Amino acid sequence: MSQQLECDVVIIGSGAGGGVVAERLSHLCEAGARVVVLEAGPHYLREHFNMRERDMIGLFLDKGAVPSSSFEIAVSAASCVGGSTAVYTGVTFRAPQGLIDGWSRDFGLPELSESDIQARFPRLEAEIDAHFPGAEMENANNRIFREGCEQLGYPVKQFRVNIRECERCGFCNLGCPYGAKRGTLEVQLPRAIERGVELIPNCRVLSVREGEVEALLSQAPAGTAAAPYALGPLRVRARRVVLAAGTLNSPALLLASQLPGLSPATGRYLTLHPALMSFGRMAEPVRGYEGFPKLHYTDAFSESHHYYIETAFYFPFVTAKSLPSFGPELKRFMRSYDRLTCALTLVHDEPEHENRLHLRGGRPQLDYRLSRRSREAILHALASAGRIYFAAGAEEYVSPVSERFSITGPDQLEDAITETAFQSGRVVVSSAHPMGGCRMGHDPEQSVVNAWGEVHGHPGIVVADASIFPTSSKVNPYLTIMALAERAAERVLAGL
Ligand SMILES: Cc1cc2nc3c(=O)[nH]c(=O)nc-3n(C[C@H](O)[C@H](O)[C@H](O)COP(=O)(O)OP(=O)(O)OC[C@H]3O[C@@H](n4cnc5c(N)ncnc54)[C@H](O)[C@@H]3O)c2cc1C
């Protein structure tokens, strides 16, 4: 028989969306209410983040790569307390001006307004210490990117990042051992817990209904915090259910729960910001692995060709797997790891009906095809990144889409980076920004939730994560997710 738990609000997931909802509702606990967070992943603490790629893979869902059925793209998301905010880099973008009004206009959401969401950003940024870092934070990888852009006349801009007393160790994506990265693991969840919110890690929700959630509690990995419940099935009754399991899981949970009248749009219109790494090799040491990895980006081709190029630097395994070769060539290039520069191109993809999450054999399955527009954007972006690095003095450039491994001058870029070299399954396209699947909208045939995240026909279930985006945000999405989650929390509070 299942263990039973009664509460006022149950929150599923503790990432950017769930963590914010937990903190905002924690004041209810001070007034005697019971708020519970069920998180599928373990509760790792700072001291577990040992900066080793092999050990930290456990922070991620499916070892860091959820592939699409065609193997054209693989999505990365975390599965631990803090969700993907435990492994994100902390690049903090406000939603571009006009995005929210566009959603409001195009999806029949007059209750959602640009001014409301934009007004939340400065306060949210202050809450998580998001700021423009000073010049002392610019490592050589970021400087080379900036100089290359300046040489070419590409506008080069800075990100806000949400770090406090950063030790510049460069291991942000393996969990911050110093607690400097101000995700929900460090900011909202500790505050929520202090005020009385109950966090149950290793607790995977299997189905949701209005007023009730079925979950399964598993063994906590050695050394991680465990909840005081027996392992096995757990039934949670709650006045409100908040679903914040992220784009890879929230739509799947709704589908698995077979809610009556669920929208046919459930799981559909996914966008991923398809991303590719490319590399310059410099004559001098760069040591891109030292210091904070991401500070600059260019939006030179955002309007015309639909992409951003951002600075980035990754660990040896991630770098090696992203290079388009094996054997001696790969070995030669990896030997110059300390002289590499790295950029990440991110495509603004469009929501399409066929790009979806669905269930196969009860498991979430991702169907996603790159559109012609996205493929063209990728080719253009990889050539632009090459131009940036050659302008900054690179001796060699390696693009994941290329007729040849080594490109040694800007005049070779056009001939090398071609559509014929873009073979599906052979090129590592990745994504860390899954969005959509429970999109907001007025029409229940075309959307899953309303402007506050309430599931059409089931207002007792509120979705508060990236899955409610009707289109991609174009920019790194977490701050926008937080703003929408805060709004969802206000709705829940008002309802209670
Ligand atoms: C490596 C990496 C780097 C990134 N860098 C940036 C960046 O610099 N800037 C930026 O804006 N964005 C970045 N992102 C993206 C950002 O982290 C996500 O967009 C954001 O965290 C998504 O929030 P969410 O609440 O939708 O989901 P998540 O934060 O992913 O949280 C979902 C949570 O739900 C839990 N869950 C799932 N299913 C269940 C279930 N059945 N039962 C219980 N719990 C469940 C998961 O374990 C997870 O903890 C990055 C992502 C990654 C992976």
DSSP, residue by residue, 68-105: BTTSS-EE--B-STTGGGGTS--EE-PPPTTHHHHHHH
Give the residue, out of 60, 81, 84, 254, with the most ligand 1 atoms within 8 A of its beta carbon, to mutate for a pocket test. 84
How far, in Å, from the CA of 387 to the mean position of ligand 1?
Answer: 33
At a CB cut-off of 8 Å and minimum separation 6, what does 326 contact?
none
Instruction: Give yes or no for residue 493 having a pLDDT over 90.
Output: yes
pLDDT tier at 225 (50, 70, 90 boundaries)?
confident
Q: Taking a C-beta distance cutoff of 8 angstroms, is the pair 249, 13 a contact?
A: yes
Measured CA to CA, the distance from residue 211 to residue 220 in angstroms comes to 27
How many domains are there within the chain? 2
How far, in Å, from the CA of 437 to the mean position of ligand 1?
Answer: 14
Residue 87 resides in a domain = yes
Helix axes 16-30, 478-495, angle to 10 degrees: 30
Residue 184 resides in a domain = yes
**Tokens at 340, concatenated:** 């590499």
Would you tell me how many other CB atoms lie within 10 Å of the CB of residue 125? Answer: 18
Instruction: Give yes or no for residue 2 having a pLDDT over 90.
Output: no
Per-residue model confidence (pLDDT) at position 302: 98
Per-residue model confidence (pLDDT) at position 264: 98
Determine whether the shortest distance from the Cβ of 205 to ligand 1 is under 6 A.
yes
Q: Do 235 and 302 lie in a common domain?
A: no
pLDDT tier at 368 (50, 70, 90 boundaries)?
very high
Residue 302's H or E segment, with its range, is helix 302-305
**CA nearest ligand 1 atom 53, residue:** 77
Q: Taking a C-beta distance cutoff of 8 angstroms, is the pair 297, 356 a contact?
A: no
Q: Taking a C-beta distance cutoff of 8 angstroms, is the pair 12, 206 a contact?
A: no
79 CA closest ligand 1 atom index: 47
Residue 108 resides in a domain = yes
The CATH number linked to 403 is 3.30.410
Q: Do 338 and 379 lie in a common domain?
A: yes
Residues in the chain, total: 496
Computed over every residue of the chain, the mean pLDDT equals: 96
**Tokens at 108, concatenated:** 């029949």
Cα angle at 299 between 106 and 367, to 5 degrees? Answer: 55
Q: Is the dihedral of CA 81, 87, 91, 95 positive or negative?
A: negative
**Tokens at 154, concatenated:** 């590409």
Give the residue, out of 88, 162, 171, 467, with the most ligand 1 atoms within 8 A of its beta carbon, to mutate for a pocket test. 88
Measured CA to CA, the distance from residue 297 to residue 279 in angstroms comes to 15
DSSP H helices, 4-139, are: 16-30, 53-56, 99-106, 114-127
Per-residue model confidence (pLDDT) at position 228: 87
Q: What would the pLDDT profile of 29-77 be if each residue is shown by its tens digit?
A: 989 999 999 999 999 999 999 999 999 999 999 999 999 999 999 999 9
Q: Do 279 and 389 lie in a common domain?
A: yes
Determine whether the shortest distance from the Cβ of 253 to ligand 1 is under 6 A.
yes
Q: What would the pLDDT profile of 329-346 be if each residue is shown by its tens digit?
A: 999 999 999 999 999 999
Q: Do 280 and 313 lie in a common domain?
A: yes
Residue 365 resides in a domain = no
SS3 of residue 46 by DSSP: helix
Last residue of a domain, one of 423, 455, 487: 423
The CATH number linked to 194 is 3.50.50.60
Q: Taking a C-beta distance cutoff of 8 angstroms, is the pair 410, 453 a contact?
A: no
Instruction: Give yes or no for residue 462 having a pLDDT over 90.
Output: yes
Last residue of a domain, one of 384, 401, 423: 423
Mean pLDDT, range 233-244, rounded to an integer: 98
Per-residue model confidence (pLDDT) at position 175: 96
Q: Do 198 and 316 lie in a common domain?
A: no
pLDDT > 90: what percent of the chain?
A: 96
Instruction: Give yes or no for residue 425 having a pLDDT over 80.
Output: no
Residue 144 resides in a domain = yes
Q: What would the pLDDT profile of 93-117 be if each residue is shown by its tens digit?
A: 999 999 999 999 999 999 999 999 9
How far, in Å, from the CA of 440 to the mean position of ligand 1?
Answer: 19
SS3 of residue 261 by DSSP: coil
Phi, psi (rounded to 5 degrees) for 300: -55, -35
Residue 133 corresponds to which amino acid? P
Q: What would the pLDDT profile of 64-75 be if each residue is shown by its tens digit?
A: 999 999 999 999
Instruction: Give yes or no for residue 435 having a pLDDT over 90.
Output: yes
Determine whether the shortest distance from the Cβ of 473 to ligand 1 is under 6 A.
no
Which DSSP category does 119 fall into? H
Determine whether the shortest distance from the Cβ of 172 to ligand 1 is under 6 A.
no
Of the two residues 63 and 276, the one the predictor is more confident about is: 276
Range of the domain at 483: 3-129+173-270+434-495
Q: Taking a C-beta distance cutoff of 8 angstroms, is the pair 35, 8 a contact?
A: yes
Per-residue model confidence (pLDDT) at position 428: 85
Q: Longest C-alpha distance within the chain, in Å?
A: 69
Residue 362 resides in a domain = no
pLDDT > 70: what percent of the chain?
A: 100
